[in-house]
Structure 1
Amino acid sequence: METTMPRASSIAKARADKRAGKSPTTQAGHFVHDEIEAVRKGKHGVRSAKQAIAIGLSEARRAGVDVPPKKGATKAETKAAAAKAAPRRASSESTAKRSQAALKALKRESTAGASPKALSAQAKSAASKRTATDRSAAAKKAASTKGAAGRSEAARKAARTRAARKESAR
């Protein structure tokens, strides 16, 4: 598939996150966000929010983020994906054809998969599959890596959100 190179800003943000000790999935989040924006802008479509996220994670892996392999992937598939991410030689004609076909297929898809509603449903279903202990541990790690200024900003944002929701409920 003809993929656009990840934005330099995403790569820089991911590297900064790595230096700050944040998890690989947090680092990959920048690439996922870029992918969602690309779909929303109409560069191509996706069948679901899950597909948009998968494409973003794939780009992150290619950019060198140490994202865990896909769930259910065999060792052979993981090894093949790692080899695929390595620098390649000049591609053959059939690879170019395949790339064009994949991009054409994506362009035929809808952009609804990256809508706020679709992403919200995906996030809720993903969270429901995790245990309370997992969610709690993730929240504790996020709070510790955020730093004092980050926590303060997050608290202000939460207060604004609560006020806005309270206002809209009236």
Structure 2
Amino acid sequence: MAPVRKTTHSLKTAPRRSTRRATPKRWSQRVTKQSDALDLKQGVFKLTSAKKIAASLKRSAEHSSRRKAGAYRSALSMLTFYINRAGKALPKTERTRLERAKVELKRAFGRE
């Protein structure tokens, strides 16, 4: 049997310092900031009226240089993304307002 070696270094090590930039905690946050979907106005989903939300999304979609799809498709996908990511944590009143915003978005783009 081979003799057991004792190590001279301490088992405790200093915490490593990361050289990478801090990344967003959630992947959905990263998608919202870095995706090629839209440049959204901050707080757009917290607006009080479904018409205001739809108008803001339409304006953002039409003026965005980051989108790859059509304006309507990009705006609707961002709204759906927000609703889906909020999941069960989204209050019923807010969910209802966002679902109405989908209908208003269709009207705004003439897709009724």
* Pair in the same fold by TM > 0.5: no
TM-score (norm 1): 0.22
- The structure with the greater share of residues assigned to helix is 1
